Amino acid sequence: MKIFLDTAHIEHIRTAAECGCVDGVTTNPTLISREEGQFEDIVREICEIVQGPVSAEVVSTDADGMVEEAKKLADIHECVVVKIPMLLEGVKALHRLKELGIKTNCTLVFSANQALLAAKAGATFVSPFIGRLDDAGHVGMDLVREVLAIYENYGFETEVIVASVRHPLHVVEAGVSGAHITTMPYAVFEKMFKHPFTDVGLERFLADWEKVKGRS
């Protein structure tokens, strides 16, 4: 499973990239608003660090506006993937961007039918938001399983990004489901390293090594 970071925080992206575990990044207007600097500069810097797909979102809500924004975003760097919201106008834009050879990530997906339409229109990626579904009392991962089954049944090539991830168990469930990608906040990425037995085990090894060092 590919791991994407769901953040625009450069230092976090750089640290995770140094571990060799990050295949891409997703941003959205909220994540960009938390950082200093110009949108284009932030996106370019992220692309240079990860050298993988980096989603940058349009803010127009009509197809013409989305396509114009998408062309400008795609010009920033070859790694840019244009994030398009799931709307009828958004699906029109997905279709036109596919013809233009611009990669897309259909965002704000909350139903299997929305994911089906995105794939038919030619989206490169689709992002079901599982945490927000969980927050509303649904089982977000059920949506991921439905989308994967539909794509598998009909041979769609659109890759599924499990998005709106809240905790490490979401990552495990995404992996078990066979989802192509999980995008996660840096805090979740950090938690994936942790296990109390690892800490206790290391402490004991180091303490025992002190005894060995004391030998003459």
Number of Cβ within 10 Å of residue 70's Cβ equals: 26
Interface with ligand E4P (CB under 6 A), residue from 6, 69, 159, 173? 6
Contacts for 166 with CB less than 8 Å, ≥ 6 apart: 131, 134, 188
Number of Cβ within 10 Å of residue 32's Cβ equals: 16
Interface with ligand E4P (CB under 6 A), residue from 17, 26, 74, 133? 26
Residue 107, SS3? strand
Interface with ligand E4P (CB under 6 A), residue from 3, 183, 188, 189? 183
The bridge status of strand 2-6 relative to strand 181-184 is parallel
**Residue 107 CB, nearest approach to ligand E4P (Å):** 6
Stretch that binds ligand E4P, among 41-49, 66-74, 127-135, 172-180 (CB under 6 A): 127-135
The bridge status of strand 125-128 relative to strand 104-109 is parallel
Contacts for 187 with CB less than 8 Å, ≥ 6 apart: none
Burial 99-111 (b: 16+ CB within 10 A, else e): eeebbbbbbbbbe
**Residue 7 CB, nearest approach to ligand E4P (Å):** 9
Examine residue 159 and tell whether it contacts ligand E4P (CB under 6 A).
no
Structure tokens at 15: 């640290």
**Residue 81 CB, nearest approach to ligand E4P (Å):** 10
83 catalytic? Reply is yes
Please say which residue, 27 or 214, places its beta carbon nearer to ligand E4P: 27
Stretch that binds ligand E4P, among 64-72, 89-97, 129-137, 193-201 (CB under 6 A): 129-137
Stretch that binds ligand E4P, among 10-18, 34-42, 126-134, 205-213 (CB under 6 A): 126-134
Catalytic residues: 83
Residues that bind ligand E4P (CB under 6 A): 6, 26, 28, 107, 127, 129, 131-132, 163-164, 183
